[in-house]
Amino acid sequence: MTNPPSKAIKYNFLLCTTVIITSLVFLTYYSGFRHESKKFAQILVTIIVVLVLRYLLMDHIEGLFVALYKSLQRQDDIKGWPNEANKTANNSLEYLKLRLVTAKAEFYLPQQHKNEAANCEYLLLTKDLWLFGRYFFLLLLMIVYSRNSYGFFNTRLMRTVFVENRLGPMGLLQMKTIEDVYAVINWTMSGSLCQGVDYRGLPVPEYGWMDYEMAKLLGVVRLKQLRVQDKSHGMKQLQLDRQNYLPQWKVSKRRLYYVQKYWRTYYPWLCETRKGVINWLPISIHKGSLYGFSAEQAGYESFLARDLKNNAKILKYLQENSWLDPYTVAVLIDFTLYNADGNMFSLISLLVEQTPFGGVIWQLEVQSVVLLTNLEQLSAGGWFLIVIYILHLMEFSNSLFSKWWWMGEGGVVGFLKSPWNCVDLVLILLNLTIAILLISRESWVKHLLITLASAHKLEYLDFRTANFFDYMATIGMGFLVSLTTIRLWKILQFASVFRLFTTTLYSAAGSLIATLIAINIFLFAMGFAAQIVNGAQTEVFSRYLKSLTSIMSFSFGFNSHTRPEDLSHGGNALGFMLYLVLMFGVAIFLINMFITLICDHFAAAAARRERDNQGSEDRLSYWQFLKMESPVKSFRQGFNEKLQHLEEKNEEKSSERHENLDVIYAADMRRSEHIRNVANILKLQMEILNRELSASYLAWESDEEGM
pLDDT digit string, tens, across residues 397-445: 888 888 887 776 666 777 788 888 888 899 999 999 999 999 999 999 9
User: Which residue, among 215, 242, 65, 217, has the nearest Cα to 154 in the 3D structure?
Assistant: 215
How many Å apart are CA 505 and CA 521, to the nearest integer? 22
The pLDDT assigned to 88 comes to 47
- All residues at 6 or more sequence positions from 345 whose CB lies less than 8 Å from its CB, including other chains: 336, 337, 338, 368, 369, 370, 371, 372, 463, 467
How many Å apart are CA 279 and CA 284, to the nearest integer? 7
| Cβ count within 10 A of residue 154 | 22
Q: Is 60 exceeded by the pLDDT of residue 90?
A: no
The DSSP line for 466-488 is HHHHHHHHHHHHHHHHHHHHHHH
User: Which residue, among 524, 677, 150, has the nearest Cα to 369 in the 3D structure?
Assistant: 150
Q: Is 70 exceeded by the pLDDT of residue 245?
A: yes
Residues of the chain with CATH 1.20.120: 127-148+375-492
The alpha carbon of residue 73 and the mean position of all alpha carbons in its chain are separated, in whole angstroms, by 49
User: Which residue, among 306, 264, 310, has the nearest Cα to 458 in the 3D structure?
Assistant: 306
- What CATH fold (topology level) applies to the domain 495-615? Helix Hairpins (1.10.287)
Conformation bin of residue 81: beta by default, left when phi > 0, alpha when psi is -120 to 50 = beta
CA dihedral 554, 560, 562, 563 (to 10 degrees): 100
- 109-123 residue pLDDT tens: 666 666 667 777 777
How many Å apart are CA 241 and CA 288, to the nearest integer? 22
Mean pLDDT of all residues belonging to the chain: 76
How many Å apart are CA 448 and CA 466, to the nearest integer? 10
Helix, coil or strand: residue 657:
coil
Q: Which residue has the higher pLDDT, 435 or 234?
A: 435
Helix, coil or strand: residue 257:
coil
How many Å apart are CA 470 and CA 444, to the nearest integer? 11
Which of 13-27, 174-188, 689-703 shows the highest mean pLDDT? 174-188
How many Å apart are CA 642 and CA 357, to the nearest integer? 83
- What CATH fold (topology level) applies to the domain 127-148+375-492? Four Helix Bundle (Hemerythrin (Met), subunit A) (1.20.120)
pLDDT-based confidence at 559, cuts 50/70/90?
low
- 607-646 residue pLDDT tens: 887 776 665 555 666 666 666 666 554 445 555 555 555 5
The pLDDT assigned to 282 comes to 63
The pLDDT assigned to 437 comes to 92
The pLDDT assigned to 429 comes to 92
User: Which residue, among 510, 489, 516, 506, has the nearest Cα to 604 in the 3D structure?
Assistant: 506
How many Å apart are CA 157 and CA 210, to the nearest integer? 12
The phi and psi torsions of 302 (rounded to 5 degrees) equal: -140, 145
- 310-368 residue pLDDT tens: 888 888 888 888 899 888 888 988 899 998 888 899 999 888 988 888 888 888 889 99
Q: What is the pTM of this model?
A: 0.74
The DSSP line for 596-621 is HHHHHHHHHHHHHHHHHTTT-TTSPP
Least confident window among 110-119, 502-511, 564-573, 629-638: 629-638
DSSP state of 256: P
Cα–Cα distances in angstroms (integers) from residue 639 to residues 94, 95, 241, 247, 645, in the given order: 31, 30, 83, 91, 10
CA dihedral 251, 255, 260, 264 (to 10 degrees): -20
Helices within 215-326 (DSSP H only): 263-266, 308-320
Sign (positive/negative) of CA torsion 115, 118, 122, 128? positive
How many Å apart are CA 242 and CA 264, to the nearest integer? 19
Helix, coil or strand: residue 333:
strand
Residues of the chain with CATH 1.10.287: 495-615
Per-residue three-class SS string for 29-48: HHCCCCCCHHHHHHHHHHHH
